[in-house]
Amino acid sequence: MRSLAAAALLACSVAALGGCAYNETLGRSQLLLVDNSALTQQSEAAWAEALRTQRVSTDAAANARIRRVGDKIVQAAGLTDRPWDYALFVSTSPNAFVLPSGKIGVTTGLLALVQNDDQLATVLGHEVGHVIAQHAAERYSNSAATSMVLSGVQGVAGDYAQAAGAIGGLGAQLGVLLPFSRRDELEADRLGVDYLQRAGYRPSQAVALWRLMASQQQGQGSVPQFASTHPSDTTRIAALEQYIASRGWS
């Protein structure tokens, strides 16, 4: 009974906070107790921590390449309302991440892996897709909602503040970099293809990139870090091929 009451009160809390919203871009509803702007402080803390603790490449040409392609993707996505920062982290592991405040990190391993700017645009488009979809805010909201239920939810505003406070350090702990769900990844793939196509890059190279990632996985016998939490290569490639074909792109 107590768990049912807690769940019922949670539903009321969410409704009161306007937490459930239909996202037309994604074609589904999201639980959003916060939005991207509410995660700015955590994002900035995570970015500062990454820059402080990780080695950052000073290769001017490589950094300029990331910014040039990234800025085209950001413009295609309609996110020029905020400043975007990019950093090239020195690591042999192919990886990339995004923070909702407009920060994108790419590793030297990933830059060495991509064969052209179209494939780099695939990665950056995917990351920007996460921001458009508010995946970090959605994950944060789900965590807060779960915390509210587990704590018994004794009051709407007070318990929400307590729950949010309990996970408020997730940004400083780089929690905003935690893996997204497979659903989120496939959504970001689709959005990323939209943006790279608008920016003048070849959508077919999104498939080529993931075939390349799959071949690296087979060669090394382990999943590259960038792809470690993503859907299987077969699932991702099939979904991309189907979506690109449905749009009549090449």
* Amino acid at position 119, single letter: Q
> Which residues partner with 1 through β-bridges?
none
Q: Can you give 129-160 as a three-state secondary structure string? A: HHHHCCHHHHHHHHHHHHHHHHCCCCCHHHHH
pLDDT in tens, 50-101: 999 999 999 999 999 999 999 999 999 999 988 999 999 999 988 898 888 8
Region 150-179 average pLDDT: 40
Domain count of the fold of the chain: 1
Query: Which three-class secondary structure state does DSSP give residue 103?
Result: strand
Instruction: For CA atoms 193, 197, 201, 204, give the dihedral sign.
Output: positive
Residues that are catalytic: 127
DSSP for residue 201: -
DSSP for residue 56: B
Banded pLDDT at 161 (limits 50, 70, 90):
very low
Residue 164's pLDDT is what? 35
Residue scoring higher pLDDT (234 or 168): 234
CB half-sphere exposure, 72, CA atoms < 13 A: 18
Q: Rounded to an integer, what distance in angstroms lies between the CA atom of residue 193 and that of residue 205?
A: 9
Q: Please, what is the Cα angle at 48 between 143 and 213, to 5 degrees?
A: 70
- Encoded tokens for 140: 């944060």
Residue 122's pLDDT is what? 97
Residue 24's pLDDT is what? 84
Region 194-221 average pLDDT: 88
Residue 37's pLDDT is what? 77
Structural domain range at position 48: 1-250
Percent of the chain's residues with pLDDT above 90: 45
Residue 127's pLDDT is what? 93
| Cα Dmax for the chain | 62
Checking phi first, is residue 14 left (phi over 0); if not, alpha (psi -120 to 50) or beta? alpha
- Locate the DSSP E strands across the chain: 20-23, 28-31, 85-89, 96-99, 103-107
Residue scoring higher pLDDT (88 or 163): 88
What count of other Cβ atoms lies within 10 Å of the Cβ of residue 219?
Answer: 8
Mean pLDDT of the chain, nearest integer:
79
Helix axes 233-247, 182-198, angle to 10 degrees: 40
Banded pLDDT at 205 (limits 50, 70, 90):
very high
Residue scoring higher pLDDT (66 or 14): 66
Identify which of 169, 199, 166 has the alpha carbon closest to the alpha carbon of residue 78.
199
Tokens 């018994």, residue located: 152
User: In Å, how far are 67, 77, 105 from 26, measured between CA atoms?
Assistant: 27, 14, 24
Region 26-39 average pLDDT: 81
Among the residue ranges 89-93, 96-100, 147-151, 209-213, the one predicted with the least confidence is: 147-151
Residue 5's pLDDT is what? 41
- Encoded tokens for 111: 């830059």
Residue 145's pLDDT is what? 64
Region 168-178 average pLDDT: 38
Residue 28 — φ and ψ, nearest 5°? -155, 165
Among the residue ranges 9-23, 63-77, 157-171, 219-233, the one predicted with the least confidence is: 157-171
